[in-house]
Structure 1
């Protein structure tokens, strides 16, 4: 669930790096990134539809009465936020639904526009676009806190049921908006990263609900020990940087596994982490430099944080290292200097190293903060229960960019600290159940398009994983470009041609999938409670002719 310029983190998190928009949970954990935020040039401006009708700004927030518990509807509903436009809609066109996934959805209204694949599909197919905030993220919370008792309603199945209930019951703020449920109009589900996996899982779990799906960088296979996260990085990063990082990590693991306390302390001091007592925390913190790869996009170029790190190791007196690198001694000193002089402030600010990078203090705010809009906590619950995705060192005998001192027990201990009482010492995420239920790499379903990137660190959890050989078929095509994470979700004039080819392949697939769709007339609509945008009558929303100022404005796009 990441990543990139896209994640809005809870302001209440205490550590500086947890507020960075790149998918970090704490200094020693990383979640999949959602799609990059798409800036809006004028977020307050009204939208002009194809026929000249003036529509509300993209940033306008609507509310849907979503069931708190789909297994017990008597518990009532909560307000689930969504954003919507019918800028490109014409009668008979599809409804394109997207959730950003594991993040506050403020700022994602750009996914209503043709700056993204969502809007490109809408423009091509004359459709309407929706961004729906995921339960237990942002301000869409079934219950008023993120305690264990509340989070028991935070499951993959409940999230999937949300998508179904929304599609069948929402009264969209557009003409005929109460008569566009699946069966009467084709719905397309679009997602990236975790929400891309949710697209696949939903189409498996709710066959026929969606006429088509577009899943970008979809991490469909739940994996406990996901050491392969670092493989696309190792294979695609500069060779000299890879060689020197591996040499340093091998030295760190050997030293930290020994008994020479003087050498151990000197090595900790090299990174300015001398006051940290847990060696796995020290070694694990160095993964942050590798995680910066996740923030790259094709247009990032050599100015990205990851390449600044490699330059610090591989450029000496204006000369670049050969493919074999400069060797251990130089790389060790250069990496340490980069951390002490530059990088530590980037991820920790003025926080103490133990507070910022340590994982053993059960009283830390990271573990105890149960207030809403805390994406880190909400995602950790899914990690600890259903998906895993623990990014660890490679098996012995395989090249590794990160320490082997960090293995699944290291991260699973954090599950117990964050959710005391919910997990025993033997508890592990039930990835097998997730993969059996939602088919993982074995997904074979009609009208589902997968888009993946060769340089995506999450590639080996997608259907393009090395050695898996999922076939690309007419009914379930797979597009693979030279992209990073969710690169194909954005559209621009200077996009990589291989990613443009994937987008064109996806658009062609959507056109083909929808050509065979026929209305069934069956919607499955539940009439109680009536789900309409808050404060708006259907007669009002069917007569937009000018901007109005009674709309509740949500967060602006950045």
Structure 2
């Protein structure tokens, strides 16, 4: 019997559809801003607090039961409610030791009560770092697709798409990008303008903005106006067809001549060879992406230009600003083209493109100064690919675009599971796919059912050990 929290949030599982809550009222907890008053890194220091929001559900709670803390990460608590209805750093420790819940008249604070954390993606990394840093307070955690490794450049984001996407679609994009890069390498400005005009982007002045914009269907650096490979999911209600619709349009062999003839528009620059499926690619872009600007100037921050430094400096201009800050200061993972081999994005997309946004968004101030490039050591100090702690479980998806920043990265050593250090790689799984569930459990695909059952068994073993040892960590 458990008390579930999501931090912001707490939730229950196993109810019938009629009993199951679909919304949770917010509660607030006074959280110190400064947990490290003796660290020069956080000077000048303050004793002020902020109102940390959380949600909770005590439907199944019984005295002596564990507390499950679900971290919402870079998104809002409300956006995780669907996961709570169907699903299985210092702030976390302070919260676990001091929080109380309305209607719960017993002490559920850690370490007397076993607190089990769960988080996916950045919240997965937060879960891993918290359990490692506060093992005497937080009893265990499941880190799902936890991006625990900081790298400055992250071309591997595109690897699953390159490897597993429809091969004719991927080959066409590779060839078009390669031809474009050849024009850039030879500084053929006339040809580059012709290429931009085919997409309706001739007025977009910065060549990097152009390269990023036409990559939107695949996942342009930091920006995805349409859904990409990352948003694919195992359940129809959670997934999106955008990526496969894009590829189906790019490879349409029945397109009219007015579209297919565009494949030859730049053939004079490639020894008469057509740019296969360029017409389809540009036609998809002009029908799906170009209308997003809704008639505003293309070469502006209201459309596809990212080069307005003043606009970046406005604190209220973007809901993803906090994510960008963590990227700029410690995590990195700038999406860039690979140094060698086929690429889905142009080689003009380098570190400096994203770093400019960082510098413009966070200029030096009284309390803040970001590093010249992300200080990766601040993030990797926890162990990077090899972050481990007793009762810290890692679960990843084999087709996740973020996999190579996670425990099961292709760049990490082979992994072996044990009860104290469990690990699970979901074959065919995407980005924290285990965090999603449906009410009809038997209708889940076997590979998702088994992942959920593994997580349940793992936590049950931990709780059995906690009870057997009288709460000894």
Query: TM-score, normalised to structure 2's length?
Result: 0.82
* Partner residue of 1:358 out of 294, 301, 305: 305
- Is 1:99–1:195's contact at 8 Å kept on the other side of the alignment? yes
Which segment drifts farther, 332-341 or 461-470?
A: 461-470
Aligned to 2:324: 380
2:362 is aligned with 1:419: yes
1:83 match: secondary structure: strand
Aligned to 1:456: 400
2:444 is aligned with 1:501: no
* Partner residue of 1:214 out of 138, 142, 145: 142
Aligned to 1:308: 245
Per the TM alignment, residue 194 of structure 1 is displaced from its structure 2 partner at its CA by 0.4
1:191 match: secondary structure: strand
Per the TM alignment, residue 500 of structure 1 is displaced from its structure 2 partner at its CA by 2.0
Aligned to 2:153: 225
Instruction: Give the Cα separation in 1 of the matches to 2:369 and 2:298.
Output: 29
* Partner residue of 1:401 out of 322, 344, 352: 344
Instruction: Give the Cα separation in 2 of the matches to 1:331 and 1:393.
Output: 21
Aligned to 2:268: none
Instruction: Give the Cα separation in 1 of the matches to 2:48 and 2:379.
Output: 27
Q: Which runs of 5+ in 2 are unaligned?
A: 1-5, 38-44, 220-227, 257-263, 265-272
Per the TM alignment, residue 104 of structure 1 is displaced from its structure 2 partner at its CA by 2.8
* Partner residue of 2:64 out of 86, 89, 92: 92
2:142 is aligned with 1:176: no
* Partner residue of 1:116 out of 87, 95, 100: 87
Q: Which runs of 5+ in 1 are unaligned?
A: 1-34, 41-46, 118-159, 320-325, 524-558
2:210 is aligned with 1:250: no
Aligned to 1:287: 215
Per the TM alignment, residue 100 of structure 1 is displaced from its structure 2 partner at its CA by 1.1
Per the TM alignment, residue 261 of structure 1 is displaced from its structure 2 partner at its CA by 2.3
- Is 2:362–2:369's contact at 8 Å kept on the other side of the alignment? no
2:60 is aligned with 1:80: no
- Is 2:97–2:111's contact at 8 Å kept on the other side of the alignment? no
Aligned to 1:166: 95
Query: TM-score, normalised to structure 1's length?
Result: 0.70
Q: How does 1:130-169 map to 2 (within 5 A)?
A: 160-169=89-98
Aligned to 1:371: 316
Deviations 1:97-131 (A, max 9, x none): 11211123233233443x012xxxxxxxxxxxxxx
Aligned to 2:290: 344
CA RMSD of superposed structures (Å):
3.1
Distance 1:456 1:49, change over 3 A: closer
Per the TM alignment, residue 161 of structure 1 is displaced from its structure 2 partner at its CA by 1.1
Instruction: Give the Cα separation in 2 of the matches to 1:506 and 1:318.
Output: 48
Instruction: Give the Cα separation in 1 of the matches to 2:189 and 2:405.
Output: 39
Aligned to 1:489: 435
Aligned to 2:223: none
Per the TM alignment, residue 257 of structure 1 is displaced from its structure 2 partner at its CA by 2.9
Aligned to 2:254: 317
Distance 1:444 1:68, change over 3 A: closer
Per the TM alignment, residue 389 of structure 1 is displaced from its structure 2 partner at its CA by 1.3
Instruction: Give the Cα separation in 2 of the matches to 1:222 and 1:245.
Output: 28
Which segment drifts farther, 503-512 or 258-267?
A: 258-267
Distance 1:425 1:273, change over 3 A: farther
2:335 is aligned with 1:391: yes
Higher relative contact order (CA 8 A, sep 6+): 1
Aligned to 2:36: 71
Q: How does 1:537-556 map to 2 (within 5 A)?
A: none
Per the TM alignment, residue 183 of structure 1 is displaced from its structure 2 partner at its CA by 2.0
Per the TM alignment, residue 299 of structure 1 is displaced from its structure 2 partner at its CA by 2.7
